[in-house]
Amino acid sequence: MDQSALKVGVKGISECAGATFVSHYLDRSLNERGRSRVFVSRPDKYAVSDNDFEYEDEDIIVGVIDPLPSRLMEGAEAIDELMNCSTPVVWLVNRDNPGVNRRAMQRYLCFEPEFSQAEVPREIICRAEYNCVELDELHKLEGIEKLAEYLKVFLRNQLFRFVP
């Protein structure tokens, strides 16, 4: 990994939040992997870490929330930890669906998450598995793509903020 890469940490607030899923597709989107079949050896601009990292070492952290009430309660300590860390945090609701009571979730969290990734239908997940292709080749992951664009702008601004 390139030492000059900007660092993005992805932290799931519970075991089932899907941080590994989000970090994988966020890395593909940020570093523009899988967009063509031609492989070019170049260093990554963004280093995406999944769950196991020191908060202070990251340029920004993505907090991944599973919207189910039991998962929110399970992750209460992790939410407090992220809210009180010195590194900027942006929040993504993974597996968002119409059955989620958004107001109740926001009341519990005491904030509104900036991004949400809709739940991917099981049929598409199975089709990707059986065809041995990445999920984002069959289904547009709009929430993660919007988050990636936001992170590119945020990290670019952070980088230029320190230039004399």
pLDDT at 35: 47
pLDDT at 142: 92
pLDDT at 5: 73
Contacts of 145 (CB under 8 A, 6+ apart): 29
> What residue spans define the domains of the chain?
6-159
d(CA 127, CA 122): 9
pLDDT at 36: 43
The pair of structure tokens assigned to 4 is 């000059």
pLDDT at 2: 46
Please write the tens of the pLDDT for every residue from 33-48. Answer: 654 444 444 456 788 8
pLDDT at 90: 95
pLDDT at 37: 42
Per-residue exposure over 25-48, b if at least 16 CB sit within 10 Å of its own CB, e if not: bbbbbbbeeeeeeeeeeeebebbb
Residues of the chain scoring pLDDT < 70: 1-4, 33-44, 159-164
Secondary structure of 33-66 as H, E, C letters: CCCCCCCCCCCCCEEEEECCCCHHHCCEEEEEEC
Among 3.80.30.10, 3.30.1300.10, 3.40.50.300, 3.40.720.10, what is the CATH number of 6-159? 3.40.50.300
